[in-house]
């Protein structure tokens, strides 16, 4: 296992997310970003909280009901989920816009990976393995945060991709980004709607300009409506999708299933959706919710082999604290320096 992680209990493998006991059930609170802790006094409506004190956080959550706490946290921009979610997740894949079809392609697809962290980069990696040309685009002011996390995982997910760095705050940077989008056969992004709007990007409008172009939007909880702005990462979205509840039902103990499991599940589904849409010429914009992907995977596992699933979950719980099973992997290819391919990828681009 990259990172040397151990099978988690009530603290995620990476340590950023914890399960806490509320009055009526468990809540997963993901404090992966330094700024998240600054929001905790407002979340609990107190001026006295030491936001670095895990026991103090647990004491506040223990006095509250899960559903209103989660609703409040999501409105504030925290990645938070209840073990027992009241809202039924939508479909794992939603068609947001259908564009004009194109003849089935015969060329190698050009993929623009605008995503970060795990799910989107994994999808780009799988498309590269399938033969696509992949360009990873990062902001010069906010590069992929995975660069500062697990170096080995970042290298594995982004090997083979050209590296482009743009200043999205500048008109030239935004024009270059739009030109790269216009050239791409497949676009992968995981931005909230307002982030795209700040760049002057209307994904649904852009995809209509190019018949056959495929645009996949990865979100925590859905690409449209009030849930589109909810923050979600792999661990808390897996909890929202019911995986921790299933673990508790099977073993009698709470905990996380896998390491940020909604991320790799969504990465695989994103690659599948993008490749199938591209090779058949069925263009459009598609949304994948990590919450819903996790819920769908759980439902399919239950339908296929409920007894086996229960046994596997119980075995996982019993192994908490043990190292993840070792997996033999080929060495990742060397990565280009950050932004090394910017000039080459922008050369001879058509004007947007």
Q: pLDDT tens across 33-48, in order?
A: 889 999 999 999 999 9
Average pLDDT value over all residues in the chain: 93
Q: Which domain holds residue 62?
A: 2-86
pLDDT at residue 34 in the model: 83
How many Cβ atoms from other residues are within 10 Å of residue 95's Cβ? 13
249 domain residue, yes or no: no
234 domain residue, yes or no: no
Q: How many domains is the chain partitioned into structurally?
A: 2
Indicate if 47 and 139 belong to the same structural domain: no
Residue 352, pLDDT > 60, answer no
Indicate if 99 and 65 belong to the same structural domain: no
In this prediction, residue 330 has a pLDDT band, given cuts at 50, 70 and 90, of: confident
Q: What angle do CA 143, 149, 154 make, to 5 degrees?
A: 70
Indicate if 81 and 97 belong to the same structural domain: no
pLDDT at residue 56 in the model: 97
How many Cβ atoms from other residues are within 10 Å of residue 301's Cβ? 16
Q: Please give the average per-residue pLDDT across 243-261, as a whole number.
A: 97
* CA–CA separation, 227 and 291 (whole Å): 11
Q: Please give the average per-residue pLDDT across 220-233, as a whole number.
A: 92
Indicate if 25 and 148 belong to the same structural domain: no
Of 33 and 52, the one with more pLDDT: 52
User: pLDDT per residue over 133-190, tens digit each?
Assistant: 999 999 999 999 999 887 888 999 999 999 999 999 999 999 999 999 999 999 999 9
In this prediction, residue 61 has a pLDDT band, given cuts at 50, 70 and 90, of: very high
Residue after which a domain boundary falls, among 34, 65, 86: 86
Map residue 18 onto helix, strand or coil. strand
Residue 351, pLDDT > 60, answer no
Give the CATH number, domain containing residue 116: 3.40.50.10540
* CA–CA separation, 9 and 13 (whole Å): 8
* CA–CA separation, 269 and 119 (whole Å): 9
Indicate if 287 and 321 belong to the same structural domain: yes
């Amino acid at each position: 296992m990259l990172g040397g992680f151990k099978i988690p209990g009530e603290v995620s493998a990476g340590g950023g997310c914890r399960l806490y006991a509320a009055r009526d059930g468990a809540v997963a609170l993901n404090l992966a970003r330094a700024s998240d802790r600054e929001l905790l006094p407002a979340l609990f409506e107190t001026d006295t909280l030491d936001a670095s004190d895990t026991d103090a956080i647990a004491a506040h959550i223990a006095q509250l009901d899960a559903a209103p706490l989660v609703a409040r946290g999501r409105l504030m921009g925290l990645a938070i989920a209840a073990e027992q979610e009241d809202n039924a997740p939508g479909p794992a894949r939603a068609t947001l816009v259908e564009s004009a079809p194109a003849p089935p392609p015969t060329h190698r697809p050009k993929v623009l990976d605008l995503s970060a962290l795990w799910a989107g980069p994994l999808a780009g990696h799988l498309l590269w393995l399938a033969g696509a040309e992949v360009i990873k685009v990062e902001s010069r002011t906010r590069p992929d945060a995975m660069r500062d996390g697990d170096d080995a995982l970042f290298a594995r997910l982004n090997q083979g991709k050209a590296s482009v760095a743009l200043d999205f705050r500048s008109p030239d940077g935004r024009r270059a980004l739009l030109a790269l989008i216009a050239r791409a056969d497949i676009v992968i992004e995981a931005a909230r709607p307002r982030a795209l709007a700040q760049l002057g990007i209307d994904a649904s409008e852009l995809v209509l300009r190019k018949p056959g172009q495929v645009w996949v939007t990865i979100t925590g909880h859905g690409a449209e409506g009030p849930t589109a702005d909810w923050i979600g990462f792999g661990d808390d979205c897996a909890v929202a999708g019911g995986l921790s509840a299933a673990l508790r039902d099977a073993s009698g103990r709470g905990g996380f299933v896998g390491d940020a499991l909604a991320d790799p599940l969504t990465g695989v589904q994103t690659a599948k959706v993008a490749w199938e849409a591209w090779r058949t010429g069925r263009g459009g914009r598609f949304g994948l919710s990590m919450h819903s992907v996790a819920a769908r995977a759980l439902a399919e596992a239950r339908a296929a082999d409920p007894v086996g699933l229960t046994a596997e979950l119980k075995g996982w719980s019993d192994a908490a604290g043990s190292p993840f099973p070792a997996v033999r992997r080929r060495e990742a290819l060397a990565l280009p320096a950050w932004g090394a391919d910017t000039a080459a990828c922008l050369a001879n681009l058509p004007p947007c």
